[in-house]
Structure 1
Amino acid sequence: MSIELQKGFLLTRQVQDTRQGMLLTYWLKGEDGPLKITINNELAVFFVEKDHAADAHQFLIQNNIIHQHKSLNLKNFSQNDVDGFYFDKLKTFYKARELLKANDIKCFEDDIRPEDRFLMERFITGAMEFTGVEQNAVGFNQYHQAKARTTNFTPDLSMLSIDLECSFDGDLFSIGAYSDSIKKVFMIGELQTDSADYIEWVEDEYDLLLKFITWLNEVDPDIIIGWNVINFDFKLLQKRCDINNIKFAIGRDGSAPFWRQNRLSPEQNFILIAGRVILDGIDLLKSATYSFPSFSLEYVSQHLLGIGKDIEDVDNRVEEIKRKFLYQKQQLASYNLEDCRLVWLIFEKTQLLDFAVLRSALTGLELDRVGGSVAAFTNLYLPKLHRSGYIAPNMGDGESDLVSPGGYVMDSIPGLYKNVLVLDFKSLYPSIIRTFNIDPMGLIEGLLEQQTERELQNPDIHKTIPGFDGAYFSRDKHFLPKIIESLWAERDKAKKQSNAPLSQAIKIIMNSFYGILGSTGCRFFDPRLSGSITKRSHQLLNQTKDWIEELGYSVIYGDTDSIFVSVGANKTDQQSQSIGKEMMTLINKRMNAELNEKYKIESALEIEFETHFHQFLMPTVRGQDIGTKKRYAGLVGRGEQEKLIFKGLESVRTDWTELAKGFQQTLYLKVFNEEPVEDYILTMVADTLAGKFDDKLIYRKRLRRKLSDYQKNIPPHVKAARHADHLNEKLGKPLRYQNKGWIEYVMTVNGPQVKEHLTSAIDYPLYIERQLGAVADGILPFIGKSFGDITDEQLQLF
């Protein structure tokens, strides 16, 4: 046994059955390189209520299922004692679970995999320290019979960006790789003596694959990144290896990847490579809450870096890549390498690897986990629950007829305003959880305490903290408020250190807790939990509204955690901001006093004065007099700092044209600055009719289903896609729109058509009515004008 403690950060985890029992395997990145540790003698476990345990035991014996049955000092949320059933093989565990379920015996926590349970029960998230018996291995250190515990350790991970080029049918042309110290392209073709030194020429696809696999293992990266890298690049590499009868041996121990499909989305694949992690740029950006109209590498690199790919159009790109492979291989190599570099630069710009590492260290999620909010909550909560004598409920146990409402949205008061202040509750839902001790076990314990008080006929109204829908929460038996409190403190520290990835990771985790408790996909779902959060937020917002109106100001809107206050057109910027700060101080002081008096609790709620709009529009619902919700626009700042902000309006929606967006920006600025608008509107209409804005008339929309799945009420973008693929088929081109994706089209006098197959005249009057007119009539009525009155005479000339 190695006495010295080793440290490492988790890369991959796996469980497998052996003759001796289950073997847990963990690959880590240690201080001196990769580490492989194996742990044996672990058992898989689920729990059964004690009243059913004897029957369960007999069923398993009768079916020759080897197991251990133990009486435990644990109970479920129904206050029934449970026994543990332990299995030395995963196969046996699954067989036992299915047998008992078939005989109507409920198993608890039977969906938690042993390799995950081992970590969570030891509070191991991203890093661990361990001892074990060292074994000989080439390229990494290996230990077996390991014992592990949690620790703090920040890894130095090596990263490599991968991209491949191929024909439309999947025949490989080249494979590129890039890092801050590596430039490499394997290219099929005869040696060209004047070629760049980063190109390695190979004879054919067989040679390409062999040399790439050998080289990759020599470079030995911890992290491989790319764009749709799993579902395209690695899936195709696996397929071409299979066709060429080559072992895709890219694991650190020489093993091939293990693949599995997403049960809910079969087109999505997951890959497990021993000791290496594949991070997809698209998935990771989405996990870090980035949002783009398109997640194409071209769009994201242009948006984030200001640079893009050399080839844009899909049809032309496929043909151009083939042409370059046949006649300009060095240019193709440069293009291949540039794609790798762009992904690398996006990861650097957004600090995505740091984000993934920190998220893993905070929650125990695998580095490559997509989503995973429920799993993160389970990792953090379950071991604490067990140590308090409870096991977790199963999915569906908390379902009832109760309905938890969403965030509170007030009716708005439409109008064109000067001096609107926005006050925002800082992390409202996590603050409510902290303040009112909202917690799954806290609910169970609170209900018990309240029942005991009733039975004693001497109820203490401050024994528990009341929630909604009959919920009561224990004042001292809970975990979630403390988890949030510690995360909150870490986020404040991260902000002070300007650690953006850590701050973002913590924010996402904290904000996910309400969604988890309100999701039927979580084992801790209970509408009394989520309802006690959202209904409390409704109450707090209304209370805040009342306090503000007591001061003589008008609340014109409220949304989830924000209050919009009109303080009067006669105020200067300085006066408005002073009012905002005074209002913030007053509300926080009154909130603290009220909660202490009413519930005997300390408030973690904090409202902040966030924004001063010196010009603000709260529009009406189109065609009606009532105010909108989640839609507004306003001006903040002065001079060079002035900024126009839109929420929910055309300028921030991807399904409106650039014509409408640009028109709205300029028109709103003119209205806010009290400038004439008639000449601008007339010029825009005339220029649109003259064809000067044809490049700005493109609609961009996602096909969210297969084209054949659209049967009724066919929307314009589907009509455009069908028209385009009908023409593609006639021209012998690939059908581009059959299986989801984005489509760009324009409206013509003969209906919607994609821009590359435009055969009819553009329907300019339709654009004027539905784009310019719709935008203008969102704001013009507030200054006593209308788009129709301004343009009718001009349009009659056409």
Structure 2
Amino acid sequence: MIKQGYILSRSTISIGNQSYVELWVATEEGAVCLHSDPQYPSCFIAASEKAKLTTLASQNNLDIRYSDDDFRTLEQTPVITVKTANESTMHQLRGLAKDHGITLFEADIRLADRFLMERFIYGALEFFCPSNIEHSHKGIPNTIKQAKVRAGHYTPSLTSISLDIECDEHENLYSIAIASSQCNQVIVVRDPAHPARYITDNLPFQIEEVHSESALLTKTMGTINAIDPDIIMGWNIKQFDMAVLFRRAQKAKLTFTIGRNNSALSIRQWEGQTWVDLPGRAVIDGIEALKTMTYHFDSFSLDNVSRQLLGKQKLIQSEDKLAEIKRLYKEDPIALAKYNHEDCVLVNNIASQTKYIDFLILRGTLTGLDIGRPGGSVAAFLNVYLPKLHRKGYVSGVRPENGGLASPGGYVMTSQPGLYDDVLVLDYKSLYPSIIRTFKIDPLGLAEGLKHPETAIPGFKGAMFSKESHFLPAIIDNLWKQRDEAKKAKDAPRSQAIKILMNSFYGVLGSGGCPFYDPRLASSITLRGHEIMQTTAKWIEELGYVVIYGDTDSTFVHIEGNTDLGTPQQTGEALAKEINQRWREKLKKEMNITCFLEIEFETHFSKFFMPTIRGSVLGSKKRYAGIKVNSSSKEIVFKGLENVRSDWTELAKQFQYELYSRVFNDEPVIGYIKTLIQQVREGKMDEHLVYSKRLRKPLSEYVKAMPPHVKAAKHADNLNKQQGLPLRYQNNTSVSYVITLAGPQTLEHVSAQYDYQHYIDKQIRPIADSILPLINLSFDNITADQLPLFS
């Protein structure tokens, strides 16, 4: 019978001297393991280098086979298919070819990935389930050998747990919490100092006590396997929780079997990253998931994200969380268990609020990426594009070793600074995907266009694109239609997944990590964008309006006093309609192509402020603020200013919001500024004077440059060392500090008076100086009669 499933994990396994693809898939009846027929890793080599590779393989006793399948590179070089008996041989072949300067094409594509992509399997699949096979207790076979699979359409309902560990700085485990709809449990290693049983009445979870770390790990394995989840998630779970559990299990001489069919957790670390392999289950890190969904936070700490999304915080709020965790383990283990469990609950609630599991499933359906994989825009592009390219007789290129040359960025116009009434923002809808669709920008299209330039669409840097032979424009067109359907159905996760995928294609083509990298591709997108934005501004000014700024796909138009086209709303819609009509006519006439560019009226700012570059009369870029007018309300919007930047204090953010609000609404500002400065000098704003900045490298590596947060961290850890306390700031961590008369100091080691004049000069004055002159006021004049307390 035919069954449907969704891929949870993929891998290549070796049995004897042969390689097989192993897929774990979720079905309506539970998870099942599929093993393919023997698979033969493949790559391609230029026909002219076949003899050289043959000699090299023979000298090293490597069994390789060739077939001429009439493939060629995008530069029209004929290539021959190379196959090996197994993954090990292919790995050796890659190394030898690299050492001897032989180029192998597509040799870095993993066997399991190629197996799926060449069958156009993206997430969902169908497989043949024999009726005469032994079934598991859930009614489906544990493993199907020689599985026959094909693309399917199936949306799974996956089960999940969240997991969190607590330990000391030496990775000695205290407890492990698991939270799901099926189980809420904290397993605790009993401290000998607490011989009596814990009082656990009225807790929303069960506490199980064990007497050793080995027993803790064993109990955790049993609990996870009994629940049998499809997904294990957590916060920084790959880099921290899973890595620690793997190392502690190794130390205890245990195999940490938390995968399906008693398979073991496997951890690989490379270039500072941790890779987790767990057959039969997906491991999802909440931080990675939200970043993939393009969420932005000042800090991705669980405490901060929970505050922002849920209005909740972690149960431990101490500045030195590790010290507090160690104290609770010794003095109040129930409180530590509550903290441990609550972290799991917060992760579950964030997953529910953001629907990131739904998003990752949909992304997998669109691209074939595993749901536990972060990022992966290049891999997604290859999954979607490469099989189509093969069917046209082409193979991909190779990734440039030096990362390639940078392509021009998006268009940014020098702004006209000032304080304005009535500014409209006209926005091109998905500009770069629209350019790809309109001008047929595509790797295959470039190869075919250069062969037949007389009928091709000109690009930039010598590019020519075929009007007929291409894939990417059609791929985007299909995604565009799916996104419109998702919007109509109010399916936010699907709409967001499609938007991110479409917008990633430009970055992929300009990325040195992509085998399709070609400066002509990315430049033909961005430089076309420059041309479109400049032409749009010229057309708008021809109609009698002033363009004060342009940024990538947005044009800012000052319309104050010009009512020729009606209200601001009517003016914006009329301008958009006129520009769209002009583009359709221009491209039809000059290139005989259909225009997919579409500009929309996006925003009306009743008040709009564009600052100058600090210390200059020139207009800034990507920085502005204004009152955005909605159908029934108004809101102040900040872009790129102190109010939305994480490296400014809360004092600066609050001051900027209040000052701009007063200026925009023609309210008095002098009294407000004087009162605030007085409050700062009197110490009434101390809680808002904290800076927070992350160390980007180990503290010991800061030698020449000593920014304030580094000075504060060094000062703190010197004191910690003197007092016999743990060193908190040696590695990548966030430093919260204030500026005192003795210099920068962390919050837990403040020993001097705050330098209030610093905050007035560095946090208040720059914001005031940016906007006060536009209403004929001066910060110096306002504060002239306010002397410091200590002068």
Q: What is the CA–CA distance in structure 1 between the aligned matches of 2:546 and 2:644, rounded to whole Å?
A: 27
Deviations 1:192-217 (A, max 9, x none): 46544622232332222222211211
1:364 is displaced (CA, Å) by: 0.8
What is the DSSP-based 3-state SS (H/G/I as helix, E as strand, rest coil) of the residue aligned with 2:261? coil
What is the DSSP-based 3-state SS (H/G/I as helix, E as strand, rest coil) of the residue aligned with 2:33? strand
Whether the 8 Å CA contact 2:435–2:596 is kept in 1: the answer is: yes
Q: What is the CA–CA distance in structure 1 between the aligned matches of 2:102 and 2:331, rounded to whole Å?
A: 68
Q: What is the CA–CA distance in structure 2 between the aligned matches of 1:639 and 1:735, rounded to whole Å?
A: 54
1:186 maps to 187
1:532 is displaced (CA, Å) by: 0.6
Which of residues 302, 315, 329 in structure 2 aligns to 1:325?
329
Point out the more displaced range, 669-678 or 215-224: 669-678
Structure 1 gap ranges (5+): 454-462
**Residues 327, 621 of structure 1: alpha-carbon distance in 2 compared, 3 angstrom cutoff:** closer
Q: What is the CA–CA distance in structure 1 between the aligned matches of 2:55 and 2:483, rounded to whole Å?
A: 52
Q: Does 1:522 align with 2:530?
A: no
Point out the more displaced range, 607-616 or 706-715: 706-715
What is the DSSP-based 3-state SS (H/G/I as helix, E as strand, rest coil) of the residue aligned with 1:744? strand
Q: Does 1:442 align with 2:439?
A: no
Whether the 8 Å CA contact 1:399–1:526 is kept in 2: the answer is: no
2:208 maps to 200
Q: Does 1:242 align with 2:259?
A: no
Which of residues 373, 378, 383 in structure 1 aligns to 2:382?
378
1:421 is displaced (CA, Å) by: 0.1
**Residues 132, 244 of structure 1: alpha-carbon distance in 2 compared, 3 angstrom cutoff:** same
What is the DSSP-based 3-state SS (H/G/I as helix, E as strand, rest coil) of the residue aligned with 2:485? helix
What is the DSSP-based 3-state SS (H/G/I as helix, E as strand, rest coil) of the residue aligned with 1:740? coil
Structure 2 gap ranges (5+): 191-195
Whether the 8 Å CA contact 2:565–2:571 is kept in 1: the answer is: no
Letter in structure 2 aligned against 1:312:
Q
**Residues 365, 332 of structure 1: alpha-carbon distance in 2 compared, 3 angstrom cutoff:** same
Point out the more displaced range, 126-135 or 757-766: 126-135
Deviations 1:213-234 (A, max 9, x none): 1121111001011111122212
Letter in structure 1 aligned against 2:598:
E
What is the DSSP-based 3-state SS (H/G/I as helix, E as strand, rest coil) of the residue aligned with 2:262? coil
1:309 maps to 314
1:574 is displaced (CA, Å) by: 7.2
**Residues 235, 55 of structure 1: alpha-carbon distance in 2 compared, 3 angstrom cutoff:** closer
Point out the more displaced range, 138-147 or 486-495: 138-147
2:157 maps to 156
Which of residues 217, 220, 232 in structure 1 aligns to 2:228?
220
Deviations 1:488-521 (A, max 9, x none): 1111111111111111111111111111111111
Letter in structure 1 aligned against 2:156:
P
Q: What is the CA–CA distance in structure 1 between the aligned matches of 2:154 and 2:675, rounded to whole Å?
A: 63
Q: Does 1:680 align with 2:688?
A: no
1:394 maps to 398
**Residues 194, 424 of structure 1: alpha-carbon distance in 2 compared, 3 angstrom cutoff:** closer
1:459 maps to none
Deviations 1:689-743 (A, max 9, x none): 1111011111111111111111223111111111111111111111111101111
Letter in structure 1 aligned against 2:283:
I
Q: What is the CA–CA distance in structure 2 between the aligned matches of 1:34 and 1:290, rounded to whole Å?
A: 31
Which residues in structure 2 correspond to 1:100-119 (within 5 Å)? 100-119=97-116
**Residues 727, 717 of structure 1: alpha-carbon distance in 2 compared, 3 angstrom cutoff:** same
Q: Does 1:131 align with 2:128?
A: yes
1:497 maps to 489
Whether the 8 Å CA contact 2:403–2:511 is kept in 1: the answer is: no
What is the DSSP-based 3-state SS (H/G/I as helix, E as strand, rest coil) of the residue aligned with 2:104? coil
1:665 is displaced (CA, Å) by: 0.8
Letter in structure 1 aligned against 2:50:
A
Q: What is the CA–CA distance in structure 2 between the aligned matches of 1:212 and 1:12, rounded to whole Å?
A: 21
Which of residues 54, 75, 80 in structure 1 aligns to 2:77?
80
Cα RMSD for the two superposed structures:
1.9
Q: What is the CA–CA distance in structure 1 between the aligned matches of 2:280 and 2:133, rounded to whole Å?
A: 17
Deviations 1:89-110 (A, max 9, x none): 1111122222233333221111
Whether the 8 Å CA contact 1:421–1:566 is kept in 2: the answer is: yes
2:2 maps to 5
1:670 maps to 662
Q: Does 1:44 align with 2:44?
A: no
Whether the 8 Å CA contact 1:364–1:379 is kept in 2: the answer is: yes
Whether the 8 Å CA contact 1:398–1:525 is kept in 2: the answer is: no
Deviations 1:244-295 (A, max 9, x none): 2222111111121122113xx33x2111111011111111111111111111
Which of residues 672, 696, 700 in structure 2 aligns to 1:704?
696
Which residues in structure 2 correspond to 1:645-794 (within 5 Å)? 645-794=637-786
1:136 is displaced (CA, Å) by: 4.1
What is the DSSP-based 3-state SS (H/G/I as helix, E as strand, rest coil) of the residue aligned with 2:754? coil
What is the DSSP-based 3-state SS (H/G/I as helix, E as strand, rest coil) of the residue aligned with 2:341? helix
Q: What is the CA–CA distance in structure 2 between the aligned matches of 1:574 and 1:663, rounded to whole Å?
A: 36
Q: What is the CA–CA distance in structure 1 between the aligned matches of 2:402 and 2:45, rounded to whole Å?
A: 18
Letter in structure 2 aligned against 1:678:
I
1:641 is displaced (CA, Å) by: 2.0
Letter in structure 2 aligned against 1:37:
L
2:373 maps to 369
What is the DSSP-based 3-state SS (H/G/I as helix, E as strand, rest coil) of the residue aligned with 2:424? strand
Number of matched pairs: 779
Which residues in structure 2 correspond to 1:277-316 (within 5 Å)? 277-315=282-320
Letter in structure 2 aligned against 1:186:
I
**Residues 639, 734 of structure 1: alpha-carbon distance in 2 compared, 3 angstrom cutoff:** farther
Whether the 8 Å CA contact 1:573–1:614 is kept in 2: the answer is: no
What is the DSSP-based 3-state SS (H/G/I as helix, E as strand, rest coil) of the residue aligned with 2:259? coil
Deviations 1:11-67 (A, max 9, x none): 111112222411211111012100100012211011111122233223323432112
Q: What is the CA–CA distance in structure 1 between the aligned matches of 2:167 and 2:667, rounded to whole Å?
A: 56
Q: Does 1:625 align with 2:617?
A: yes
Q: Normalising by the residue count of structure 1, what TM-score does the alignment of the two structures yield?
A: 0.95
**Residues 744, 327 of structure 1: alpha-carbon distance in 2 compared, 3 angstrom cutoff:** closer
Q: Does 1:343 align with 2:358?
A: no
Whether the 8 Å CA contact 1:14–1:24 is kept in 2: the answer is: yes
**Residues 761, 400 of structure 1: alpha-carbon distance in 2 compared, 3 angstrom cutoff:** closer
Which of residues 208, 218, 233 in structure 2 aligns to 1:210?
218
Q: What is the CA–CA distance in structure 2 between the aligned matches of 1:685 and 1:78, rounded to whole Å?
A: 66
Which of residues 354, 357, 380 in structure 1 aligns to 2:358?
354
**Residues 52, 744 of structure 1: alpha-carbon distance in 2 compared, 3 angstrom cutoff:** same
1:569 is displaced (CA, Å) by: 4.5
Q: What is the CA–CA distance in structure 2 between the aligned matches of 1:75 and 1:407, rounded to whole Å?
A: 33
**Residues 101, 691 of structure 1: alpha-carbon distance in 2 compared, 3 angstrom cutoff:** closer
Letter in structure 2 aligned against 1:286:
K
1:644 is displaced (CA, Å) by: 0.6
Q: What is the CA–CA distance in structure 2 between the aligned matches of 1:635 and 1:166, rounded to whole Å?
A: 48
1:587 maps to 579
**Residues 6, 640 of structure 1: alpha-carbon distance in 2 compared, 3 angstrom cutoff:** closer
